[in-house]
Copies of this chain bind each other. A is one copy, B any other.
Amino acid sequence: MREESTKRRMTRQRRIILEELRMLRTHPTAEELFQIVRKRMPRISLGTVYRNLDVLCQSGLVLKLESAGQQAHYDGDVSQHYHIRCRRCGKIEDVYPEEVNGISDPTVCRRDYQIIGWSLIFEGICPDCSEDIVAENSN
């Protein structure tokens, strides 16, 4: 069965979540963003924040920074840039392309951090799944 694309609606909740996230220079968790949005919409629920962040990610308007086992962080800036995470407090900050001098020598990226390591992860659709998707859509 072909998956129909769902018609999204720009609800007040969705708009405010996006607005607030874009105003932040930090990369809040869903919970943190919930606390912020709550000031403008006291009755909004955490579940709604999660649902909307998910929709916004799928639309490409928001970036989800996943870190397994812990809380995901969200980024309202989808332009090309990288991140640095503090292994102790979990805070995530931006790293801009001009700060990085190549993946083979990434130690010189932010002078104020003690760099321990880095990871480069590509995202895509594997050959098996590509086949499945084609099969699904040919029904």
Q: Chain A residues in contact with chain B, CB under 8 A?
A: 65-73, 82-89, 91, 93, 95, 97, 100, 102-104, 106, 109-110, 112-130, 132-133
Contact = CB atoms under 8 A, between A and B. Distances in A.
Q: How many copies does the complex hold?
A: 2
A103 B102 CA distance: 7
Nearest to A84: B122
A116 B109 CA distance: 25
A84 B118 contact: no
A116 B125 contact: yes
Given A68-B121, A85-B121, 6 more contacts: A65-B121, A66-B67, A68-B72, A83-B120, A86-B124, A119-B120
Given A68-B67, A70-B66, A127-B112, A103 B120 contact: yes
Contact of A86 (B71, B93, B118, B126): B126
Contact of A122 (B70, B82, B102): B82
5 A-B pairs with the lowest CB-CB distances in the bound complex, closest first: A68-B72, A86-B126, A88-B129, A113-B124, A84-B122
A120 to B, nearest CB: 4
B121 A82 contact: yes
A84 B124 contact: yes
A14 to B, nearest CB: 20
